[in-house]
């Protein structure tokens, strides 16, 4: 019994000493200008990381880490979010995304009117090379699987960025209507609603539209409201490139607000600008 107690004590003492010798953090970034994303002014400080979590921000004196980076003269900040990206196919071809990563972008938001899915019905999927192999897909879920698959499958692209996407009105419309300029029947509109439902279940952020040209311009306000109601049930938002940025800019913004009000959905207006010089008010100062 005494031998067992002595052995257990020795094991505990050795484990405790090993734990004490372990570095406190995996990564320690020292002496950087920290911009923390809260809107507060930057400040000099350190950022300590343990595993995949930030463990401390501020002054972290006398701490040990497996790796230490001296960020003197550099800015340390959360990754930037590119809220309007068209990198859908490029990420499949080159997931390293160095042009974004090296600018501090760590999250891409895809989909403006068109998106990486769905491709079904009358809208065939575009071919894309994934590690040199042509691949096709039909849903947003399948597209996301291709992006994420590198860790578990040689078929995946593997990406350096976080990725999210809207489902594009253009995809939804063309899956059902093809290139026709005809008005959809009630049955066809119902099929569009089903496709939006599927995309939201696949992880879409909401519905996006490009209303300045076909196929988006073919959708009426009522059509968009019906589809937005589906996205709203899933907590989605409506992001729109409005119909007219020139002489009809104000009416187009009013339409976006009406859609949000009727569908009970938050609205994001892409490219909020005035393209008609007659509507631009210039001031001397």
pLDDT of residue 62: 85
pLDDT of residue 157: 52
User: For the chain, which residues make up each domain, given as ranges?
Assistant: 2-76, 80-277
Q: Which fold has domain 80-277?
A: TIM Barrel (3.20.20)
Q: What is the mean pLDDT of residues 15-35?
A: 80
pLDDT of residue 10: 42
Q: Is 285 helix (H, G, I), strand (E, B) or coil?
A: coil
Our measurement of the distance from residue 100's CA atom to the centroid of its chain's CA atoms, rounded to an integer in Å, reads 13
Q: What is the mean pLDDT of residues 258-280?
A: 89
pLDDT of residue 20: 57
30 near 76, Cβ under 8 Å?
A: no
DSSP-derived secondary structure for 103-156: TTEEEEEE-BSB-S----TT-PPPPEEETTEEE--SSHHHHHHHHHGGGT-TT-
Q: pTM of whole model > 0.75?
A: yes
Q: What is the mean pLDDT of residues 34-61?
A: 93
What separation, in Å, do the N-terminal and C-terminal C-alpha atoms of the chain show?
90
Question: For 191-241, how does the pLDDT look when each residue is reduced to its tens digit (9 = 90+)?
Answer: 999 999 999 999 999 999 999 999 999 999 999 999 999 999 999 999 999
For 46, list phi and psi in degrees, rounded to 5: -120, 155
Q: Which fold has domain 2-76?
A: Urease, subunit C; domain 1 (2.30.40)
C-alpha separations of 162 from 93, 200, 246, 284 in Å: 16, 18, 35, 44
Q: Greater confidence, 151 or 65? A: 65
Beta-carbon contacts of residue 252 (< 8 Å; ≥ 6 apart): 211, 242, 243, 244, 245
Q: What is the mean pLDDT of residues 151-155?
A: 38
Task: Work out the mean pLDDT of the chain and round it to a whole number.
Answer: 87
Q: What is the mean pLDDT of residues 266-274?
A: 90
pLDDT of residue 147: 85
Spatial CA neighbour of 148 closest among 171, 164, 134, 169: 164
- Assess whether pLDDT exceeds 60 at residue 13: no
Question: For 122-142, how does the pLDDT look when each residue is reduced to its tens digit (9 = 90+)?
Answer: 999 888 878 778 888 999 999
pLDDT of residue 130: 81
pLDDT of residue 160: 87
Question: For 235-259, how does the pLDDT look when each residue is reduced to its tens digit (9 = 90+)?
Answer: 999 999 999 988 888 999 999 999 9
């Amino acid at each position: 019994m005494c031998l067992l107690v002595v052995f257990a004590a020795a094991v505990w003492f050795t484990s405790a000493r090993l734990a004490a010798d372990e570095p406190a953090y995996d990564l320690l970034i020292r002496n950087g200008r920290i911009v923390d994303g809260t809107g507060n002014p930057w400040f000099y400080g350190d950022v300590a990381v343990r595993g995949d979590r930030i463990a401390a921000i501020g002054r972290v004196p006398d701490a040990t880490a497996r790796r230490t980076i001296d960020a003197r003269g550099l800015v340390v900040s959360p990754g930037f979010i590119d809220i309007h990206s068209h990198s859908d196919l490029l990420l499949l071809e080159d997931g390293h995304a160095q042009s974004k990563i090296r600018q501090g972008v760590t999250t891409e938001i895809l989909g403006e009117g068109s998106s990486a899915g769905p491709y079904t019905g009358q809208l065939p999927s575009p071919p894309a090379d994934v590690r040199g192999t042509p691949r096709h897909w039909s849903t947003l879920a399948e597209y996301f699987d291709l992006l994420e698959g590198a860790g578990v499958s040689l078929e995946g692209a593997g990406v350096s960025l976080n990725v999210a996407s809207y489902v594009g009105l253009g995809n939804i419309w063309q899956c059902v209507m093809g290139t026709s300029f005809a008005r959809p029947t009630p049955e066809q509109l119902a099929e569009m609603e089903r496709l939006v439902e599927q995309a939201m279940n696949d992880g879409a952020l909401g519905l996006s539209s490009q209303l300045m040209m076909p196929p988006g311009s073919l959708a009426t306000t009522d059509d968009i409201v019906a589809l937005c109601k589906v996205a709203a049930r899933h907590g989605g938002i409506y992001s729109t490139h409005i119909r007219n940025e020139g002489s009809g800019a104000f009416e187009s913004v009013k339409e976006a607000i009406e859609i949000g009000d009727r569908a009970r959905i938050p609205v994001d207006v892409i490219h909020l600008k005035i393209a008609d010089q007659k509507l631009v008010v210039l001031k001397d100062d």
